[in-house]
Amino acid sequence: MLPIALGLSLILAEPDAPVKKSPIAATVVSLLPTSGDHIRQYAFDGDDATTYTTDKPPAEGDSVTLTFDEPVLVRSVSIKGRGLDGGTLEGSTDGQAFESLTGVHDGTGNAEPKKSLKAVRFVPAKDAKEPLQIAEISVDSDPAVHRFAFPVEFVVDEVDDPELKPWADKAARECEKSYDLINEALKSDGYTPARVVHLSIKNGIDVPAYASGSRITGSAKWFKDHPGDVGAMIHESTHVVQRYRGRRNPGWLVEGVADYVRFVLYEPANIGRLNVNTARHDQSYRVTARFLDYVSRKYDKDFVLKLNKAMREGKYSEDLFKESTGKALADLGTEWKDSLTPQ
Ligand SMILES: [Zn+2]
């Protein structure tokens, strides 16, 4: 009975409300090395002025593939750029087997497949002699596919354990896909995050992973033992995006923001249990992440944006909590702790 009653009440409440579908995330993959900072995601960022450029002409078997997290009904798809003539725009219903949608001539190709597709790809002409320059792949679909608002490329450099290379590649694609989520949470005026992030997996690292500038280094042993811990790389990617300055930023807040992005926004199901007896707002990592979530929900949905901006600009002080909530940090911490119920 319950689902029917629930459905009915929704219909009665909003008879004309359109069904809202969230945009579907996408990954853009190519085996061709990128030329400088003309990164792959520029092929799908909604901006014709930015171009994905390969550092050499394609060879047999090369392609550039845009894969959707879920199949979408593609009304039309087009590609434009240079060095593409004679190539083919292809579509796939399952992400595995592709069939031709249209050829590319005079730098453009347009198709109206009007069917459900899991991926589209560009296959260069066999005799292509120029590097590829893809200005844009455009997809008109239902639901829409999310274009990259903060384009980035994670370049896998050294992987000490060859067995971990596929894992590193997978983590890199996941971080690329999640970069918009991180940057939407931590955007501030005048700030452009790193466009290229380097990722290495090394032996002899005594923490799971760490970030320095736009380089992330992971422990081979850790990720071999914990292959499901891709979220640790989201945490480190958040540090790359934070790029905080100054010495006034408390470490517990720096880590708290990184775990807020990871455990509140990216993978809330994995935040784990909280020990309410020992919990402190300044306990760092995921405990502080919960505290920041509380402040955001109860007082100011933009609190983390403001906190991040202040820390990025070297202007953090505890007053920030008072400005957003009317309460001193210590009192807020006590209030949060009192609100916790044993789990
Ligand atoms: Zn950290």
135 within some domain: yes
Report CA(326)–ligand 1 centroid distance (Å): 29
Same domain flag for 206 and 290: no
Amino acid at 60: E
CATH code of residue 176: 3.30.2010
Report CA(230)–ligand 1 centroid distance (Å): 14
Enter the DSSP assignment of 261.
Answer: I
Report CA(207)–ligand 1 centroid distance (Å): 10
Same domain flag for 229 and 285: no
Same domain flag for 164 and 231: yes
Is 202 strand, coil or helix?
strand
Same domain flag for 209 and 258: no
Same domain flag for 205 and 99: no
pLDDT tens across 42-63, in order? Answer: 999 999 999 999 999 999 999 9
Same domain flag for 257 and 238: no
Same domain flag for 34 and 134: yes
Report CA(55)–ligand 1 centroid distance (Å): 34
Same domain flag for 215 and 278: no
Q: 92: phi > 0 → left, psi -120 to 50 → alpha, else beta; which? A: beta
Closest CA to 198 of 180, 218, 178, 181: 218
Amino acid at 18: P
Host domain of residue 109: 26-142
Beta strands 153-159 and 108-111, pairing class: unpaired
Domain boundary among 212, 242, 272: 242
Task: Indicate the pLDDT class of residue 17, thresholds 50, 70 and 90.
Answer: low
Torsion sign (Cα): 63, 159, 35, 147: positive
Domain boundary among 121, 142, 163: 142
Same domain flag for 256 and 235: no
Answer whether 231's CB lies under 8 Å from 270's CB.
Answer: yes
Go through 37-58 and write b for each residue having 16 or more CB atoms within 10 A of its CB, e for each that does not.
ebbbbbbbbeeeebbbbbeeeb
Report CA(285)–ligand 1 centroid distance (Å): 8
328 within some domain: yes
78 within some domain: yes
pLDDT at residue 246, rounded to an integer? 76
Report CA(220)–ligand 1 centroid distance (Å): 17
Report CA(258)–ligand 1 centroid distance (Å): 6
17 within some domain: no
Mean pLDDT of the chain: 94
Answer whether 257's CB lies under 8 Å from 308's CB.
Answer: yes
Distance, in Å, from the CA atom of 174 to the CA atom of 168, rounded to the nearest integer, reads 10
Report CA(188)–ligand 1 centroid distance (Å): 20
CATH code of residue 93: 2.60.120.260
* Percentage of the chain modeled with pLDDT above 70: 94
199 within some domain: yes
Same domain flag for 73 and 177: no
Enter the DSSP assignment of 143.
Answer: S
Same domain flag for 312 and 293: yes
- The residue that leads in pLDDT, 115 or 4, is 115
Give φ, ψ of 169 to 5 degrees.
-65, -40
The stretch 194-217 carries a mean pLDDT of 97
Report CA(235)–ligand 1 centroid distance (Å): 6
Report CA(65)–ligand 1 centroid distance (Å): 32
Distance, in Å, from the CA atom of 321 to the CA atom of 325, rounded to the nearest integer, reads 6
The number of domains in the chain is: 3
pLDDT tens across 240-294, in order? Answer: 999 998 788 999 999 999 999 999 999 999 999 999 999 999 999 999 999 999 9
180 within some domain: yes
Domain boundary among 119, 142, 165: 142
Is 338 strand, coil or helix?
helix
Task: Indicate the pLDDT class of residue 343, thresholds 50, 70 and 90.
Answer: low
Report CA(254)–ligand 1 centroid distance (Å): 7
The stretch 104-123 carries a mean pLDDT of 98
Report CA(272)–ligand 1 centroid distance (Å): 17
pLDDT tens across 170-192, in order? Answer: 999 999 999 999 999 999 999 99
Report CA(166)–ligand 1 centroid distance (Å): 24
pLDDT at residue 19, rounded to an integer? 61
Task: Indicate the pLDDT class of residue 341, thresholds 50, 70 and 90.
Answer: confident
Answer whether 289's CB lies under 8 Å from 272's CB.
Answer: no
122 within some domain: yes
Same domain flag for 272 and 205: no
Report CA(239)–ligand 1 centroid distance (Å): 7
65 within some domain: yes
Closest CA to 92 of 114, 123, 64, 120: 120
